Amino acid sequence: MLNLPLSKVFKKWQLQFKGVVTELILTDNQGKNIAISKLTSDYWQGDENKFTKTFKQSKDFNFDSVTYDASTHHFQVQLSFPVLDDNNSHIGVLILGVDVEKALHSSNEKSN
């Protein structure tokens, strides 16, 4: 899965954020991973809040609580965004993991 063209784009994009972005996952309409920026501990997101609270919701995104993620080895939050096709039909979810410590540290550096 890491050798898929979109997974390679995700990995390259993630590297620009110097560890603040811990992972990108794109799912299909059932929650199965179809592109990832790094190996994950779970290839089906369909039973998790990051998918269920985002897929077919009227909200623009879902902000999950801070948790320790075993696959990334970081305390992170996950932002999930519904993915729509040209007809505004829900076709998946884009999940963005953010390392909380690094994001706060980066934010503090920019404000000084």
User: 41-100: per-residue pLDDT in tens?
Assistant: 889 999 998 898 898 776 688 888 888 877 767 788 999 999 999 998 899 999 999 998
Predicted confidence at residue 86, as pLDDT, reads: 94
Q: How far is 32 from 95, CA to CA, in rounded Å?
A: 12
Question: CB 107: neighbour CB atoms within 10 A?
Answer: 10
Is 45 in contact with 51 (CB distance < 8 Å)?
Answer: yes
- Positive or negative: CA dihedral 54, 27, 45, 106: negative
CA-nearest of 30, 29, 44, 38 to 96 is: 38
Q: What does the pLDDT look like over 19-36, one tens digit per residue?
A: 999 999 999 999 999 999
In this prediction the pTM is: 0.86
Banded model confidence at residue 110, pLDDT cuts 50, 70, 90:
low
Specify the pairing of strand 21-27 against strand 62-63: unpaired
Q: How far is 67 from 30, CA to CA, in rounded Å?
A: 23
